[in-house]
Structure 1
Amino acid sequence: MVNPVDTLRALHHDRAPEDPLILPGPWDAASARVFEEAGYEALATPSAGIALSLGYEDGQVPPEEMFAAIGRIVRSVSVPVTADVEGGYGLAPKELVDRLLETGAVGCNLEDSFAAEDGTHALRDPAEQAAFLAAVREAAGDRLFINARVDTFVRGVPEPVAAAVERGRLYVAAGADCVYPILAPAESIPALREGIEGPLNAVAVPGGPSLRELGALGATRITFGPGLLHRAMSSLRDIAEQLR
């Protein structure tokens, strides 16, 4: 029997530019089953989407509730699931890995931002984040696919492309399987692809390039954040209006 993490890892390699890996983002068990039934080979939970489905603001879900939600999604489908666990909730690497594996997830997003006491967000020192990722990799071995999120494009960093490449290279050297420069403009993807070794995650946004275009620019895999939940809610609003 093929190990799900091996399946997920293999899906990221030897892909044609016009065929990026599409990972829909389920927010609950029902949406996960819909995506699996549509034929998607793997799924990627969005922390913001799960937060909204549970009645929380993004970043405010208690870890116990997030891990429980991830577990319900994993149990509802037979395809590999990778989970967005934000910055790791302050857990030590081994505990974080253990909690993830308990849910059945075979991958995770880990971001390099943190919330300051005044409520703002800032970037972690890249060397510190690389050390954290290395510790997660050591604790996980090959049991988790690590997607290292890079937040230079959302934190007002000067020269965000160069900063993302620097961070991405450090994170890959620390053991990350994939690098995710979240909300990188489409025109920056070729430079990111050239500068960062290994798979590259891009996020699809409304009005942006098509999925095939993102792949042609250099994206290995494409995720949606909470975007699919927002589209589902828009459709539900239309249905609700029709019921009047």
Structure 2
Amino acid sequence: MTSLDASAKTLLELHVPGNPVVLPTVWDAWSADIAVAAGFSGLTLGSHPVADSIGRTDGEGMTFDELLTRVAQVTASVQVPVSVDIESGYGLEPLQLIDGLLAAGAVGLNIEDTVHSQGKRLRSPQEHADLVRGLREAADAADVHVVINARTDLFLRQDGDASDRVDRAIARLALAAEAGADVLYPVGRHPDADLRRLATELPRPINAIAQPNTPTKSHLADLGVARISFGPFLQRTLGAEATTLLAAWK
């Protein structure tokens, strides 16, 4: 077993429904070091905070190579598993994405179903599943069980009628699970009943997003969540605190 594969399996084992792993969403070596020093056992790099940190925009305003530069800096600085938000894949083939991530030391990824390079269209459920399958096959070929977190933006986009949105999200993410996803990410803020249903009916552990200044871990655990991340909110919370500190020096 390679060290990368061992790290990937460690990351996967942290995903326990009802006892969620918190993966602070970081953007550089500094923020990663802070999170690890605080006692967290894994990290995720978010596309939005990474893009903000290098003067780019979210939605693939940075290149995959720019993202990988940050990933390599983080993995060189910390000794915990690192997952990376690769947005919708930057128009690259699965093999390119997996090879780039592994070369930079990452062992997990988030993949979205919004295609930023094509007018932000939503991939069909099968198209998204096919991409997940390609990523799984590329990871298998590299002998590393990269932890694939398949994300849907149905809720963020408020796509279609709200009355059957949870049904459509479950159907879409179930296809991704069949294709090889390890974790499923119906990104957005959900009523408790909807989140419990997603956690109960989906065939893989689910990821929920949280505000870092809101103590919701136990609540999300009770709903069956297996993974918690912060998206851009940790960076925004720290930014607001810095603004308050600096205001006193005007």
Match of 2:180 among 167, 171, 175: 175
Of residues 156, 175, 199, the one that matches 1:193 is 199
SS at match of 2:155: coil
Kept in 1: contact 2:90–2:117 (CA 8 A) = no
Structure 1 segment 1-244 matched on structure 2, within 5 A: 3-13=6-16, 17=18, 19-59=19-59, 60-115=61-116, 117=118, 119=119, 121-141=120-140, 142-157=144-159, 158=161, 159-187=164-192, 188-205=194-211, 210-244=216-250
Distance 1:116 1:145 in 2: 24
**RMSD, aligned α-carbons:** 1.7
Q: Which stretches in structure 1 are left out of the alignment for 5+ residues?
A: none
Contact 1:199 1:220 in 2 (8 A): yes
Change (3 A) 1:178 1:226: same
Which deviations, in whole Å up to 9, do the C-alpha atoms of 1:63-116 show, x marking residues without a partner?
211111111111110011000010111111111110111110000000011136
Gap change, CA 1:10 and 1:228, over 3 Å in 2: same
SS of residue paired to 1:154: helix
Number of equivalenced pairs:
239
Q: 1:134 to 1:202 in 2, by over 3 A?
A: same
The DSSP-based 3-state class of the residue aligned with 2:88 is coil
Distance (whole Å) between structure 1 residues aligned to residue 152 and residue 20 of structure 2:
20
1:204 and 1:224 in contact (8 A); partners too: yes
Question: Which TM-score applies when normalising by structure 1?
Answer: 0.93
CA gap of 1:169–1:184, structure 2 versus 1, over 3 A, is farther
5+ long unaligned stretches in structure 2:
none
> Separation in 2 of the partners of 1:74 and 1:116?
28
The answer to whether the 8 Å contact 1:186/1:209 transfers is no
